[in-house]
Amino acid sequence: MNGMPTALITGGTSGIGLALAQRLAGGHCLVLTGRGDGAGLPVDALFVKADLSRPEEAVETVASALRSAGVSSLSKLILNAGTGTYAQADAEDAATIRRTLDVNLVASVLMAHRLAPLLEEGRGRLVLIGSVAHRGSANMPSYAASKAGLTGLARSLRAEWDGRIGVQIIHPGPTRTPMHEKAGYDPGGLEKMFFSADAMADEVARLMETGRPGATVIFGARIRRLLTGKPS
Amino acid sequence: MKALVTGAAAGLGAALVQQFLSSGGAVVAIDRDELQGGGRLVPLVADLSDRDSVDALLPRIVEAGPYDFVVHNAGVSATGPFEQIPPQAYRRLLTLNTETPMVMTAELLRSGSLSKGAHVVFISSLSHATGYPGAAVYAASKDALAVYAKSVRAQMKKRGVHVTTVFPGPVRTAHAERHAPAGARADQRMEPKDLAARIIAAARRRKKVLYPGPQARIGHIAGLLAPRLTTRMMRRIIFEKLDRTVY
Ligand SMILES: NC(=O)c1ccc[n+]([C@@H]2O[C@H](COP(=O)([O-])OP(=O)(O)OC[C@H]3O[C@@H](n4cnc5c(N)ncnc54)[C@H](OP(=O)(O)O)[C@@H]3O)[C@@H](O)[C@H]2O)c1
């Protein structure tokens, strides 16, 4: 690809990932993954179709697509794809638990593992999209667990990779995206309080520039956006 | 009193089984290795890092229940530089340490296999407080388990089931021996017997969390007061001293 740095975003086909892709499009070569057909993505972006609920296959698919496209270094690996189901502990079946852990945690571990050499080559950074739920959630226990897993991964890997590859984790607060409906949750009137996907992507992009190791996007961001006249 | 213990053949699991038996309880003991059954000990063989094996086990667990005490103890580590450990090892580790206890808990709840007043114990790790460079995926698996436990506590309580999460530091087991960095002192690790007794006592006292022993308590406080510094220190005392990759 041309001289611009390359950013890979998993789940770049919807919600926060897509909004972030649109924001990064000008200054980056983009690689976006998802399960769909890749319609409606920024032009020039390379779309890779991969189902992260089968992490081993998906990682192979992404790695070989990068190889075919001649991408040998990454400046950002943004592991954003995520899924969850709104259900309490006794209503989560094995398939739900496994899918949630596979997409959110196992796929992230294996993707970071496989693409670490490209990040090192690009003096790049691993960016994990967590969630405020990483501290626990009675209504989404396995989702919360998967995001806590990402938090733990980020913390230890950051220390391990110190000076080689950056590691950042960003925890979005509630955001208006299709995720809630897919999870079987109707926020009702609460949705008005959510960030828009654009505002969230804006905050994530801003945090990526600071390189802060970890950050939560919720009240502080909302107040700052209010004060600076930006829409939430 | 009937207990369910995973990873029952060695280390902490074996110590827990012994203590449940010697206090007059019955134990359903799960391990990959066949245990000598008889009397009040019912061994079940399964590979908890394998989904098919877990799926085959679940109905047998339900059949052998209900339980007054469950300890999700089975776990493995993978130590070494993150990139040098094969992906299959990470998959097995995440299944065993995180997914299986979650799937099992959901099934125990769904099937009504937990008696009123039962205790469910999740064994996380002190790494939840300190981070663990050199075992990043192990740390991830134990953080995920700890937050799962925290997430389900309120709903379990409504059913009269109490959840305790344990954050042990190093324990004197063959497992710890394999993963310790060069020159680490075995005499500073807690005896499995001692740890088992503390866990049972803490669960019975309905403690939400247990940091067993002085080492774990210090690690906990250090992690609370100075999380980044603590993880950097862990890097120095563990990651930089690792002389081999073990999984
Ligand atoms: N929305 C919120 O309130 C909120 C709050 C905190 C954290 N987050 C996190 O933010 C991230 C983005 O979420 P979002 O709100 O933007 O949700 P979204 O609109 O539903 O987007 C999720 C993305 O993940 C991808 N994805 C889901 N399952 C996948 C699978 N099996 N294989 C491959 N890709 C898969 C989807 O791609 P395809 O559908 O094309 O496969 C989609 O691009 C997630 O990690 C989420 O947990 C969201």
> Domains of chain B, with CATH numbers?
2-241 (3.40.50.720)
CB contacts, 8 Å: B125 with chain A: none
Q: Between chains, do A152 and B131 touch, taking CB under 8 Å as contact?
A: yes
Rounded to whole angstroms, the Cα distance separating B21 from A155 reads 40
Rounded to whole angstroms, the Cα distance separating B49 from B183 reads 30
Q: How far A96 CA sits from the closest chain B CA (Å)?
A: 9
Name the residue among A54, A43, A42, A58 with its Cα closest to residue A10. A58
Q: Residues of chain A whose pLDDT is less than 50?
A: 1
- Whole-number Å distance, alpha carbon A206 to ligand 1 midpoint, is 20
- Residue B39 pLDDT > 60: yes
B245 Cβ contact partners less than 8 Å away, ≥ 6 residues apart: B79, B80, B81, B84, B85
The reply to whether ligand 1 has any atom less than 6 angstroms from the CB of A149 is: no
Chains A and B form CB pairs within 8 A to the count of 157
| The pLDDT value given to residue A227 | 82
Is the N-terminal amide bond of B66 cis, ω within 30° of 0? yes
Residue A34: how many other CB atoms lie within 10 Å: 22
Q: Is A143 tagged catalytic? A: yes
Pair A171, A134: CB distance under 8 Å: yes
> Domains of chain A, with CATH numbers?
6-227 (3.40.50.720)
| The pLDDT value given to residue A2 | 61
| The pLDDT value given to residue B129 | 95
Q: What is the pLDDT of residues B81-94, one digit of tens each?
A: 999 999 999 999 99
Instruction: Provide, rounded to the nearest whole percent, the portion of chain B with pLDDT above 90.
Output: 86
* Residue B175 pLDDT class (50, 70, 90 cuts): confident
- Whole-number Å distance, alpha carbon B156 to ligand 1 midpoint, is 29
- Residue B176 pLDDT > 80: no
Rounded to whole angstroms, the Cα distance separating A153 from A77 reads 15
Q: What is the pLDDT of residues B119-155, one digit of tens each?
A: 999 999 999 999 999 999 999 999 999 999 999 999 9
Closest Cβ opposite residue B152 in set A55, A89, A105? A89
| The pLDDT value given to residue A221 | 81
Look at B121 and B238; give whichever has higher pLDDT. Answer: B121
The reply to whether ligand 1 has any atom less than 6 angstroms from the CB of A111 is: no
Q: What is the pLDDT of residues B203-219, one digit of tens each?
A: 999 999 999 999 999 99
Average the pLDDT over B170-185 and give the result. Answer: 80
| The pLDDT value given to residue B18 | 97
Q: Which two tokens stand for residue B4?
A: 């369910």
Rounded to whole angstroms, the Cα distance separating A29 from A4 reads 6
Q: Which of the following is catalytic: A143, A154, A180, A216? A: A143
| C-alpha triplet A18, A19, A25: angle, nearest 5° | 85
Rounded to whole angstroms, the Cα distance separating A172 from A217 reads 5
**Three-class SS state of A93:** coil
Pair A86, A184: CB distance under 8 Å: yes
| The pLDDT value given to residue A157 | 98
Q: Which of A79, A90, A126 would best serve as a mutation to test chain B binding (most B beta carbons within 10 A)?
A: A90
A34 and chain B in contact, CB less than 8 A: no
CB contacts, 8 Å: A137 with chain B: 151
CB contacts, 8 Å: A89 with chain B: 105-106, 109, 151-152, 155-156
Name the residue among B95, B16, B112 with its Cα closest to residue B52. B95
Rounded to whole angstroms, the Cα distance separating B96 from B37 reads 23
| The pLDDT value given to residue A68 | 98
A140 and chain B in contact, CB less than 8 A: yes
A114 Cβ contact partners less than 8 Å away, ≥ 6 residues apart: A59, A62, A63, B87
Residue A75 gets the label, from left (phi > 0), alpha (psi -120 to 50) or beta, of: alpha
Rounded to whole angstroms, the Cα distance separating B169 from B185 reads 13
Smallest CA–CA distance from B242 into chain A, residue: A160
Q: How far B92 CA sits from the closest chain A CA (Å)?
A: 10
The reply to whether ligand 1 has any atom less than 6 angstroms from the CB of A87 is: no
Q: What's the whole-model pTM score?
A: 0.96
Chain A segment 63-122 residues within 8 A of B by beta carbon are 88-90, 92-94, 97-98, 101, 105-106, 109-110, 112-114, 116-117
| The pLDDT value given to residue B87 | 98
CB contacts, 8 Å: B85 with chain A: 113
Mutation test residue for ligand 1: of A8, A20, A83, the one with most atoms within 8 Å of CB: A83
Residue nearest to atom 1 of ligand 1 (CA): A175
Half-sphere exposure of A46 (CA within 13 A, CB side): 19
| CA A53 to ligand 1: nearest atom | 31
A99 Cβ contact partners less than 8 Å away, ≥ 6 residues apart: A53, A83
Residue A41 φ then ψ, to 5° = -90, 160
Average the pLDDT over B42-50 and give the result. Answer: 97
Q: Which of B52, B105, B147 would best serve as a mutation to test chain A binding (most A beta carbons within 10 A)?
A: B147
The reply to whether ligand 1 has any atom less than 6 angstroms from the CB of A174 is: yes
Name the residue among A183, A96, A211, A32 with its Cα closest to residue B99. A96
Q: Which of A128, A151, A160 would best serve as a mutation to test chain B binding (most B beta carbons within 10 A)?
A: A160
